[in-house]
Chain A
Amino acid sequence: MQALLAYLDPGSGSMLLQLLLGGAAAVGIGFKMTWRRMLRFLRLDKKQSDPEAPAA
């Protein structure tokens, strides 16, 4: 998947900031992202066994 990676490191913090700067339009996405993280934290995420999912 080399071709899909940018040559520039976008920076994790910079990407998160783009979500925070999104205002109202980003609320739903932010909520969904937090929800998914919470499920993963509680090990309730169905995709835990998905081989494509990151190990962490």
Chain B
Amino acid sequence: MALHAARRDPRAHWLLLLLGLAVLLAALSLNALVTGVAGGSGPSATGTLPAPRQVTAGGPVLRLDQAKPLVRSVPDRTVALTFDDGPDPRWTPQVLDVLRRHRAHATFFLVGARVNEHPELARRILAEGHEIGSHSFTHADLSASSTWRTDLELSLTRKAIASATGREVTLLRPPFTSTTRSLTGRQYDVLRAAAGSGHVAVLADRDTKDWQRPGAPAIVRAATPPSGRGAVVLMHDGGGDRSQTVAALDQLLPRLTKAGYRFTTVSEAVAAPGSTVSAGLTTTLSGAALRWAQAGAEWLAAAMNALLGVALALGLARLAVQVACAQLHVRRVRRPRHHGAAVGAPVSVIVPAYNEAANIAATVRSLVASAYPALEVIVVDDGSSDGTADIVARLRLPGVRVIRQANAGKPAALNTGIRAARAGLLVLVDGDTVFQPDTIHQLVQGFADPRVGAISGNTKVANRRRLLGRWQHLEYVIGFNLDRRMYDVLRCMPTIPGAIGAFRRDVLLDVGGVPSDTLAEDTDLTMKVLRAGWRVTYEERAIAWTEAPSSLRQLWRQRYRWCYGTLQAMWKHRHSLREAGGGGKLGRRGLPYLTLFQIVLPLTAPAVDVFALYGLIFMPWSKLVLAWLGLLLLQGCTAAYALRLDRERFGPLWTLPLQQLVYRQVMYLVVVQSVVTAVIGNRLRWQRMVRTGEAAALVRG
């Protein structure tokens, strides 16, 4: 109504939001990859063809970067101990200690992601004269991975180790390989491909299977080569409890040393030069970036989990309070009223109208048709250009007055009406709202209690034929009405909707009329009434049919105004937090509730949606479907309960799952927009809804 000069709405924050969500999705995906949520830890498929015979029957060190494979073995009386799956903060140091005690050297095949978590262990391994190699980044089964995944696994590991140690590795032992004899054709293909990026494959002669924890003696037996031969021995220093491995080493090392064995790195055993090369600057920097990204991703994923947990707990707590309060409210209001006579004091109905030609006749007719003894209707035309005032005047209905004023905004129109009203009880009605015959009677009965200063009615969506209408209908019944019952019980009603509310005239004069410095004058006014010490209650039987926005654009505008206006009103009344009496109840119950559930949680909702998207990509479907069904069931039960309380049909419930896709996003994005507008201090225009007259059609039909 009131037209403010406004700068255009901010837009750059959408780019920021999108960027932030993209980073979040990337970080979650990275974390999933690193922690193995995304698969890659399963054993390789069995039943594939074996690798070429000359490889499976040959030595364990394979150089495959040329047409002819070069194969090397470990000479007699030499053992190259190899440890997979590390570094592990608990077991790797113990393994290193044992090796140092027996002056033995070994080779460690490191998992890149774990190197990023414990780079100091990788440095210690190198510093103590051992050799390091790659065991993929996430312990993935490379033979079951796509080519790009395999390349990524190898290059990430190389970078991680380069950033930790300054050396780039060239030795590779793919996870889930053991001896050359058991090498499959697929695994061999992986080795050949890896040779292209500079990897020498190291398999094993003797697989101790220490990961099965067969006991230290069994590990020692499995590690001991027969009759003085040399061997590459496969053991593990990570991925689980490795105490048996450490114990076995303590026995194996002295025993074989006594038998004339020496323990060397793989390269030394096969008389190759040191396998690592000095890392280039690019690789080192890239590795550092990777480590930071991995650490950040881990932190973000943990924060996301915490957020989801908190949101779920808050949601459940809110539901419990809502249901408890609703039960209490219903029990209270549905008792038969037998104290004193019914309230029948004169009522002035004030209808502020700006270009309401579509609905105004129906609105006024429905008001005049009220079964209430003493009623006057005041239509305040706020400078309409569509002849709203003339329509009302032509109706020539008894007890209806039309006041015309130059366009000054809805609060001003309301105040004009309040000044003109003769009755002691005032009912404020939007120009697009249609009452039932008993609405006014039901609405004002609460004034029998002298402590009650204002009463909220029950708004219902008239146009609920289409999906958007059904969604809003559900929201009005579930969100608004359930909340209002709770507010009533907790005495912290923040909003009497502009569509239907009753006030004592004295109360309105006491609080200085309808304020105009916020866009949600109804919320602002209600908060003022509460802070003036009056009670504000909710009357479920006073039903007003209102026309809900019928397009997403209209809905966006309406909610933008509501949300921004509510933010304004909350900020304006923030000092109620420290007040005594009614204001304190608003400040300590209503405002925190609104802050949490209308602002903070909606602001985190985009991240939750990104998490859902991430779940869709990475999580097992069974788990996802279960979680989704659980949430839906909870929502459905709440909705069914609210519908039953409002005596509504359960029919529109089927649209509830669909709300998750468009409606939910509109509802939270509008909060983002409102908060940004509030922060930068833009003026927000009053944006009018285009009326179609559907509420009017409801009473005509």
> Do these two chains really belong together in a complex?
no
Q: Name A residues whose Cβ lies closer than 8 Å to a Cβ of B.
A: none
